[in-house]
Chains A and B, each alone.
Chain A
Amino acid sequence: MAEDAIVVDHLSKTYGSGDRAIRALVDVDLSIRSGTVFGLLGPNGAGKTTLIKALTGITEITAGDARVAGYNIRTQPMEAKARIGWVAAEVILDDDFTARENLWLQAKLQSLKGWESRADDLLAYFSLADRADDKVSHFSTGMRKKLEIALALLHQPRVIFMDEPTMGLDVSTRRMLWDIVTQVRKEFDVTVLLTTHYIEEADALCERIAIIDHGRILAEGTPSELKARVSGDIVQLETAEAVDPTLFASIAGVQEARPQGNDWMIRVGSSEAFLPQLFRRIQSDQIRKISVEKPSLETVFLDITGRRIGDDEPIRDVRRFYAQMQRARR
């Protein structure tokens, strides 16, 4: 059986000390099988990027240990770094250089000899061969992402870290990148550790997923295993006034009802059976908002953390911002 590509053992990372200490990672344990796409799913600030920084030797580990591509990242960082690739959220290339020169520099940084044929193959693979000698400042976002993945693959790494690789991309470029990640994993026989806060991305790409929040791994498994954790449907209810908690307990099929102010997260066996009973007990004008969700990674995250993955996201949508402001005033 192949060795695990990444083994994380009780890893913790704390920034600062004393009262100002921020525990970015708390006792993280993970084993990632070679040749798989593994997803770290969590909201912004969950600790995903910090974990990648720790596993790539960019930040020092406060406690615990980690092995990447068979090497201890604390004691053998250079050996590990020679076997890892990295794709950043934002595209990081030398804009004054051509695509081939960017590959040349990456080859130099990795101390590679005879890299040219590999670079030609990668340029052809990513359909960049005819633009190889153009400055990358003239490339589209999709082309720049492709080149960045080519850089990550140049030295035939065993593990590639992709830190929110589709953040800020339009839908079609994101889809293109999903296809690339899937192909790259198969054709280049690498392990991919991908962080994302897009539920559908984790569901589509990853064979296994760890849900991370506040620096802790809260759940891990295949997407199906994680979804199986949530039995039944989740009903989210927002009422005008406080509701007596015993009301939900009296309804058949209610597994759990969690209050969040005037909001409720109610786990039920079947929403089809639950809703008619609910409407009989609560006046319709008392209900501000109600939604039903079938089992998905979104409901898994909601079930585990009690909030949605996007709840802490910065507000980019002005209408959403004003809606939240109005709710806050009420």
Chain B
Amino acid sequence: MRVPLSPFWGLYARELLRTFRNPFVLILTIVQPFMWLAFFGSSFALLPASALESVTGTTATSYIQFLLPGVLSTSMLTVGMFGSMSTIQDKRFGFMKRILITPTSKGTVFVTKALGSASRGLVQFPIMIAAALLFGVSLRLSPLEWAAWIGGLMLLAIGFCSLFLAITARSTDWQTPGVVSNFITMPLMFSSGALFSSAHFPAWMQAISDYNPITFSALLGRSFVLGTATDWWYLGYLALFAGVMLSIGYFVSSRFLRVE
């Protein structure tokens, strides 16, 4: 007897199991955002309150408090890169062929890679929260706010994983995800409101920021962390971003995913 969705759960579980059995990848996933928080976050530690308010455009009591949702959001970009690297590894070691000689579609492979990588990225969340608490950030969120924050990050990660997987669908070169990451990460990170308030951006950069999904995720999380009014539409924008990217990635992978 055949079980529907069985390949999906099998491949999804494989993605997660492989991560937890590979301490090196796990440590790398966690260390990078932690470094951002520790070093970049501390760089404004001695800034007077009025200057901090000017830089952040908020009532954040410390730069780390302001930065936490932003760093978590930008780290979802890296998750996309790891997702496409794992796909290329499967192609090069022949595992993709093993999968696709079974009644498992390319679309299923894509969705499990996108969701698996996104879920893996969320491993950073509790670690970063713990780190922020250690740095003295006060977090008083309701269960709904916690869920919405995590949900928003998950949607952002799904979107970026889908984007990376679509771009690298035909590639078998280890270096491609890194090149794509360099091309995408910097502009998206600095043109978002993740690291600084976008109020000081020039008009053209402000325009990019207004449509940058990292901005939506950072502002959503920041509203919870700072206890300010939440614009719930941000969650809707992130869902739209994830949905559109997932659809594009599904289409591209179903047609163009290379087996080896």
A84's partner among B7, B9, B21, B101 (CB-CB below 8 A) is B101
Interface residues of A in 56-72 (CB under 8 A from B): 56-59
Task: Using A94-B14, A96-B17 as known contacts, say yes or no to A108 and B98 having CB atoms under 8 A apart.
Answer: no
Q: With A92-B95, A94-B95 as given contacts, are A109 and B10 in contact (CB-CB < 8 Å)?
A: yes
Check A109 against B3 for contact (C-beta < 8 Å): no
Say yes or no: B18 contacts A88, CB within 8 Å.
no
List residues 213-261 of chain A with CB under 8 A from any CB of chain B: none
In chain A, what residue has the closest Cβ to B95?
A92
- The answer to whether B101 touches A112 (Cβ under 8 A) is no
Whether B6 and A111, one on each chain, are in contact in the complex, defined by CB atoms closer than 8 angstroms, is yes
Number of interface residues of A (CB under 8 A): 28
Are A81 and B95 in touch, CB under 8 angstroms? no
Which residues does chain A contribute within 8 Å of B2, judged by CB atoms? 82, 110-113
Q: Does A97 contact B (CB under 8 A)?
A: yes
Residues of A contacting B71 in the complex (Cβ-Cβ under 8 angstroms):
none
A interface footprint on B63-100 (CB within 8 Å = 1, 0 otherwise): 00000000000000000000000000000011101111
Q: Which of B9, B103, B104, B259 contacts A58 (CB 8 A)?
A: B259
- Residues from chain B with a CB closer than 8 A to the CB of A56 are 101
Contact with B along A70-112 (1 / 0, CB 8 A): 0000000011011010101010101011000100111111111
Does A276 touch B at the CB level, under 8 Å? no
Provide the residues of chain B in CB contact with A314, threshold 8 Å.
none
Determine if A78 and B103 form an interchain contact, defined as CB atoms under 8 angstroms apart.
yes
Asked if A168 lies at the interface with its beta carbon under 8 angstroms from chain B, I say: no
A170 nearest CB across to chain B (Å): 21
A192-B159 Cα distance, complex, nearest whole Å: 43
Question: Closest Cβ of chain A: how far from B22's Cβ, in Å?
Answer: 7
Within 8 Å CB of A97, what residues of B? 14, 17
Q: Does any Cβ of B come within 8 Å of A114's Cβ?
A: yes
Query: A109 to B104, Cβ gap below 8 A?
Result: yes
B11 interfacial contact with A, CB 8 Å? yes
Smallest beta-carbon distance A52→chain B, Å: 9
- Is residue B102 within 8 Å, beta carbon to beta carbon, of the partner chain? yes
The reply to whether A110 and B94 contact each other, CB–CB distance below 8 Å, is no
B19's nearest neighbour on chain A, judged by CB, is A96
- A90 closest partner in B (C-beta): B94
Given contacts A58-B259, A114-B1, contact A109 B99 (CB under 8 A): yes
B97 touches A88 (CB 8 A): yes
Q: Which residues of A contact B9 (CB under 8 A)?
A: 108
Least CB distance, B15 to chain A, in whole angstroms: 11
Q: Is the CB of A96 within 8 A of B3?
A: no
Give chain B interface residues in 180-225, CB to chain A under 8 Å: none
Smallest CB separation, B95 vs chain A (Å): 6
Residues of A within 8 A of B21 (CB): 96
Pairwise interchain contact A96-B101, C-beta atoms closer than 8 A: no
A162 CB, min distance to chain B CBs, angstroms: 12
Q: Which 6 A-B pairs have the closest CB atoms?
A: A108-B10, A111-B2, A109-B102, A111-B6, A92-B94, A78-B103
| Chain B residues with a Cβ under 8 A of chain A | 1-4, 6-7, 9-11, 13-14, 17-18, 21-22, 93-95, 97-105, 259
Residue ranges of A at the interface with B (Cβ–Cβ < 8 Å): 56-59, 78-79, 81-82, 84, 86, 88, 90, 92, 94, 96-97, 101, 104-114
